[in-house]
Structure 1
Amino acid sequence: MSRRACDACKVRKVKCDGDESAEPCSNCRMSKLPCQYVRQARKRGRKPLPSPRPPPQHNRSRPTRSQGLPEPPLRTSSSETPSPSLISSSTCHDRYPPAGASPGPVSVLQSTPQTTGIQPQLGVNARLQASHRELVSSLLVCAPGSSLDTIVSKCIDIAVHSVFPLGPLFHEQSLRSSVPLQSPLLNGDPPMRAPSGPGYGACVAYPGDLAKLRSYATLTALGASVSFLLQAECLTNGVQIGQAFLRASLETLKLYQDVDAAYPDASSLVIRICHASALHTDGRTPAAWQTLNEALGLAEQMQLYKEHSFEGLEPLEARIRRLAFWQLYILDKYAALVEGKPMRMHQFSIATPITTQLRAEAEPPLLVTVLMNESPSLEEQLLAGFYLIQRLWSTASEVSLDLQVLSRFCSQAPDAQVAEEAGRLNLVETYLRFVSVLDDFPPSLECLDPTGTAENNLAASPRRRFWLQKAHLLVSYHCLRMVFLQRFADLGLANMLGCGNDTMMLASRKMEIAHDFITVITSVPFDCLLANGESCVAKIRRIGTTLLEVMHEVDVPQLASRAKSLFPRLLDVLGKLDSRASDRLMSESFH
């Protein structure tokens, strides 16, 4: 009697060396998956031919909102086995088809006209295989001693430990089920449209094909983000590895970007968030902002700011969409308050209040804590920290919007009326809500002791995940205090924050905030600052710019001397983060 392959090996179509009565097979041990024999064996041989499809009926009723596109099959035949979705195993389509869509069953994209007069390009499968071969060959050069699957598994491990606490956007078991990573083989293989033609994108004829493309694009995007973010922890030549993953993910997304924009799902947001992170860390800032704007646009198109937009979705898909929305909400506020970008996700821009709840009832878990011998409550503790991060940026955005409204009033009114208008807006109460956000840390963050964080013992500890969140909260909090102090002073309202409007008092308060900020960045574990990415560098640079202003523009020797004593400590941390911004800041300090 022949051996029976376990369920995980059967789905991934790899050779299984396990036995139902023995230990888990080697593939499941490597991928950290449960080795189970639950699925019933299928009959071998040719399957009967499908019955002819009936002709389309033009009077067919329009699909309901919960129908949309046909779902990708969860079970397929041996010749049609899509890779498991990295985001969820639910629907891969949006429930709001664009106006004018065909009312009957439609293919994911319509066929490309062959009479365009343009020489046909490579087929989709050929393009995918070429991109995958390029990824494999690039990784062989960057990491000659490691295989693709080893690198991917390492990236997943790092994502679970270093990315999830700040961006809980993926389902761990689905990620691990996608190893070994193979080039997606589509059932349909029409020619590509010409890159210069309208609507450049592949013609995907089957919903299952779309699931395969999204799965591959998501995993390679996550690999790119992780490799850029934590180069030393991931592998040597992390930049080159990240660039290889990023090229593969961008090339795959390009094949279906038209249908992805028309029918977005959770992966559409997660892929672009990972792309933006990788591009930002790689120094390609304009491309990073453009990619982030695409993700924000898709979130607005999906109306994720409305709670009812999650109705009718599979629980896992709904949870990833919800978390992705709040991650984009946080990134939007960071871009506006720290980087000076326009704020997009607020009630004035979308012309309606944001009704989306932080979480829903009976949500499915995202982490596999049992296999890692971790506490079952770990995920809930991490999400409590993530929700606190959201609350910090939410209250900060309320202060910013009130100041923005007040600034328009200031241009046409005397100072007395400005102060009166500020009182009418309850600006002080709004600011006090912001400064009190961190008064009640969750127990998982409150118990962290900076004096007991030996970094060599912290790397493999669950405490490191909480330090990632606490570092983000404290660094962001003090940076925002500095931002708001300057904005209040620009409006002549610094006295509302307890300091006068004269230069000396304002500079003195700035030095207090800078001291608190530098105390934080020198006391938290350094690798937690590194894992916070370029956003952490931007906040440090913001405080450094303020110190430079005090050093060169304030005619009070004591304050200038204090700024000069604080600046080298900040510059030392910035230099260790290995950012190109540190060199520019250092050159400015000696002019």
Structure 2
Amino acid sequence: MSRPVMGACDACKRRKVKCDNANPCANCSISQISCEHRIAPRKRGRPPKGSLRQLSQEETCESIENATADMIDDSPVNSLFEQDAASDPQATSVLEALATPFSPGTLTTPPSVSTVLRETLGKGSLAAFAAVSRNQFVPNVAHIFQKLAAAVNHQLADEGETIATCAHKCVDIFMQYLFPNTPIAHEPTLRSAAALFDLVGDFLSPEDDETPSIERLRALTLITALCALVNSAMSQGLFSTSKSLTWLFYNASRATLRLYEEYDLEFPHSTSYHIRMWQSAALQNSTGRDRASWHIHGESILLAVRARLYDEDTISRLPQLEAQLLRVNFWLMYLADKTAAAFEARPSMIPNDYLAEKLTLREQGGQDSLQLDLSRPCNGHSLERRLLTGFHLKRRLWAAAADMICELRLFPTRNQVFLANTEVDRPDISGLVERYLNFVGHVDHLPEWLQSPQRALEGVEAHVAEYQAASFWAQRSNIMSVYHCMKLVILQKCIEMAVPEVVGLNQDPIFWAMQKLETSRDFIREVQMVPFVCFKVQGEPAVSVQPFSLTSSVAYSC
């Protein structure tokens, strides 16, 4: 029979998870490891300056932690930051004044790794070294956010801003301009996470077992990932130092995720997908290099497949809010994967044959929970319902374009078989025509609030109408940009494959050029209609007309 004990067990302390103080505790029972209480509790605070004594085994491991954390800072991402600093005076000043902002080595001068290993392992402490938790090799959450707050406040001092006001502004911008196209978050959760920075240092106060809760770690990782995303998308508009802020928030978010990454992989939450997609988007916006960003995004896809988010029965058993967030997250990830594969940007991580009979997830649940904060007047007048309607319309438009591209890719193979064997019937283009008509037909069903946002908001309070109109314009701009760009891509592929009749043209190149010109003119007209800020806040994909740029970033722009 289990008996209550005092304090967290050794394994929970090392893994920085909440311990239920049982013997054995639930975490150790699940992990099938020994539940022990050998680590003696230490007094809080720094030791006296004058105390000089021989390093204990535990302190030696901490020295290894300090040395290893310096190696963590020498990552490819940090090298990219240094490359940017060469052309950015503001970034250079950050490197000089705030070098290695998250490295414990900035607080003490650790011995070399080889020296520590030689001294430690030479004393027969191999077993002790092997038992060291991975979290001992990275900074703790208090250290990360103390350095982050100092660095961000330093960057924003000239503008009279703080890390708290920056976080709140990022949430405001996301909810008004980015949420309409990626409605994957819960507004009250984001705002409560941003409010943690209002408490200055109190939000990092130690808990009873000196370990932040998993909810606190997820909230901090989430808000820093969001701030990195927004600053990367508006690197020239939100703050004068947004480019530098992007890296500060991005590195803090990645470092915090490492503190509970194994737990997050074993027990994923809706925030597990938000965080990785936003980190991926921030990296893509900041560097323009999609390999690392897609790797981070790929983690969320693998988590979704393993968690069976494609199965309606799996989702329907969850609480309403969590089910709603997971539902939208999966459709966004599935669409990104399908579109990237259609353009041969990268192999599909969710093969169609795998989900042929398993994909039962519905667009919307029976009783979807509210994701917006209805205590805010700007979220009234069915704003959330309208935005979700537009999101699913855009999702179907992207899917139709991806299906059309896939069919066009297969057509040359079928045509070659026909040319090589006269007994084989000529490939029928009726299927291509049907798919093309399905694609172009989606824009004929734009709801009234996307056709004319101002007209749909007549009679609504002025400040509410202004806010919601901006959200509708942001969604419309994304939908119509995708439509016109994909229409040009499909037209060009039909011409290359000698089947212009699929799009209603003959074999005369003059008509091809006229059709391209007309589509381009429609696109320019659409750009002139929409407030430019709606394009600006959507980052790189919104300003690129290259199809591969669009699809490489579809994970956070579609």
TM-score computed with the length of structure 1 as normaliser: 0.65
Q: How many angstroms apart in 2 are the aligned matches of 1:123 and 1:325?
A: 34
Q: How many angstroms apart in 2 are the aligned matches of 1:378 and 1:414?
A: 55
2:57 corresponds to which residue? none
Contact 2:415–2:427, Cα closer than 8 Å, also in 1 = no
For 2:128, what is the secondary structure of its paired residue? coil
Residue type at the aligned position of 2:384: E
Among residues 327, 345, 358, which one is paired with 1:322 in the alignment? 327
Residue type at the aligned position of 1:254: R
Deviations 1:183-207 (A, max 9, x none): 4857667xxxxxxxxxxxxxxxx9x
User: Does residue 464 of structure 1 match 2:470?
Assistant: yes
User: Does residue 217 of structure 1 match 2:233?
Assistant: no
Q: How many angstroms apart in 2 are the aligned matches of 1:373 and 1:312?
A: 32
Contact 1:184–1:213, Cα closer than 8 Å, also in 2 = no
Q: How many angstroms apart in 1 are the aligned matches of 2:423 and 2:383?
A: 51
Q: How many angstroms apart in 2 are the aligned matches of 1:337 and 1:356?
A: 22
Q: How many angstroms apart in 2 are the aligned matches of 1:423 and 1:151?
A: 54
User: Does residue 240 of structure 1 match 2:225?
Assistant: no
Q: How many angstroms apart in 2 are the aligned matches of 1:108 and 1:331?
A: 38
Residue type at the aligned position of 1:132: F
Q: How many angstroms apart in 2 are the aligned matches of 1:154 and 1:106?
A: 41
Among residues 7, 13, 30, which one is paired with 1:106 in the alignment? 30
Q: How many angstroms apart in 2 are the aligned matches of 1:418 and 1:508?
A: 35
The 1:348–1:377 alpha-carbon spacing in structure 2 relative to 1, beyond 3 Å, is same
2:415 corresponds to which residue? 410
Deviations 1:127-181 (A, max 9, x none): 2122112211210221012222222112111121122111112111122223123
Q: For 1:197-276, list aligned pairs within 5 A.
A: 209-276=213-280
User: Does residue 526 of structure 1 match 2:519?
Assistant: no
User: Does residue 180 of structure 1 match 2:180?
Assistant: no
The 1:317–1:111 alpha-carbon spacing in structure 2 relative to 1, beyond 3 Å, is farther
Contact 1:474–1:520, Cα closer than 8 Å, also in 2 = yes
Deviations 1:66-120 (A, max 9, x none): xxxxxx99xx99x9xxxxxxxxxxxxxxxxxxxxxx9995259999995345987
For 1:313, what is the secondary structure of its paired residue? coil
Residue type at the aligned position of 2:294: W
Deviations 1:330-356 (A, max 9, x none): 333453456833344452354545321
The 1:542–1:399 alpha-carbon spacing in structure 2 relative to 1, beyond 3 Å, is closer
1:384 corresponds to which residue? 389
Among residues 432, 436, 439, which one is paired with 1:431 in the alignment? 436
User: Does residue 159 of structure 1 match 2:171?
Assistant: no
The 1:188–1:544 alpha-carbon spacing in structure 2 relative to 1, beyond 3 Å, is closer
For 1:489, what is the secondary structure of its paired residue? helix
Q: How many angstroms apart in 2 are the aligned matches of 1:466 and 1:495?
A: 35
Residue type at the aligned position of 1:150: T
CA displacement at 1:408 relative to structure 2: 3.1
The 1:519–1:542 alpha-carbon spacing in structure 2 relative to 1, beyond 3 Å, is farther
Contact 2:404–2:432, Cα closer than 8 Å, also in 1 = yes
Deviates more, 1:397-406 or 1:121-130: 121-130
Q: How many angstroms apart in 1 are the aligned matches of 2:534 and 2:300?
A: 26
Q: How many angstroms apart in 1 are the aligned matches of 2:262 and 2:281?
A: 22
1:97 corresponds to which residue? none
CA displacement at 1:400 relative to structure 2: 2.4
CA displacement at 1:388 relative to structure 2: 1.0
User: Does residue 129 of structure 1 match 2:142?
Assistant: yes
Q: How many angstroms apart in 2 are the aligned matches of 1:133 and 1:291?
A: 26
The 1:243–1:433 alpha-carbon spacing in structure 2 relative to 1, beyond 3 Å, is same
Among residues 500, 504, 514, which one is paired with 2:506 in the alignment? 500
Residue type at the aligned position of 1:243: W
Q: How many angstroms apart in 2 are the aligned matches of 1:138 and 1:418?
A: 69
Greater relative contact order (CA < 8 Å, ≥ 6 in sequence): 2
Residue type at the aligned position of 1:473: I
Q: How many angstroms apart in 2 are the aligned matches of 1:107 and 1:166?
A: 40
Residue type at the aligned position of 2:382: S
CA displacement at 1:275 relative to structure 2: 0.7
Contact 1:165–1:382, Cα closer than 8 Å, also in 2 = yes
The 1:507–1:405 alpha-carbon spacing in structure 2 relative to 1, beyond 3 Å, is same
Q: How many angstroms apart in 2 are the aligned matches of 1:296 and 1:126?
A: 28
Residue type at the aligned position of 1:106: I
Contact 2:378–2:467, Cα closer than 8 Å, also in 1 = no
Contact 2:418–2:427, Cα closer than 8 Å, also in 1 = no
Unaligned runs of 5+ in 1: 1-48, 54-71, 80-101, 190-205, 546-591
1:99 corresponds to which residue? none
CA displacement at 1:241 relative to structure 2: 1.5
Unaligned runs of 5+ in 2: 7-16, 37-125, 198-202, 458-462, 551-558
What is the root-mean-square deviation of aligned Cα atoms in Å? 3.8
TM-score computed with the length of structure 2 as normaliser: 0.68
2:152 corresponds to which residue? 139
User: Does residue 310 of structure 1 match 2:326?
Assistant: no
1:535 corresponds to which residue? 541
Contact 1:165–1:383, Cα closer than 8 Å, also in 2 = yes
Contact 2:180–2:387, Cα closer than 8 Å, also in 1 = yes
Residue type at the aligned position of 1:172: E
Deviations 1:4-54 (A, max 9, x none): xxxxxxxxxxxxxxxxxxxxxxxxxxxxxxxxxxxxxxxxxxxxx97369x
Q: How many angstroms apart in 2 are the aligned matches of 1:417 and 1:259?
A: 60
Contact 1:529–1:536, Cα closer than 8 Å, also in 2 = yes
% same residue:
26
For 1:234, what is the secondary structure of its paired residue? coil
2:45 corresponds to which residue? none
For 2:30, what is the secondary structure of its paired residue? coil
Residue type at the aligned position of 2:365: A
Q: How many angstroms apart in 1 are the aligned matches of 2:34 and 2:180?
A: 40
Q: How many angstroms apart in 2 are the aligned matches of 1:108 and 1:312?
A: 28
For 1:295, what is the secondary structure of its paired residue? helix
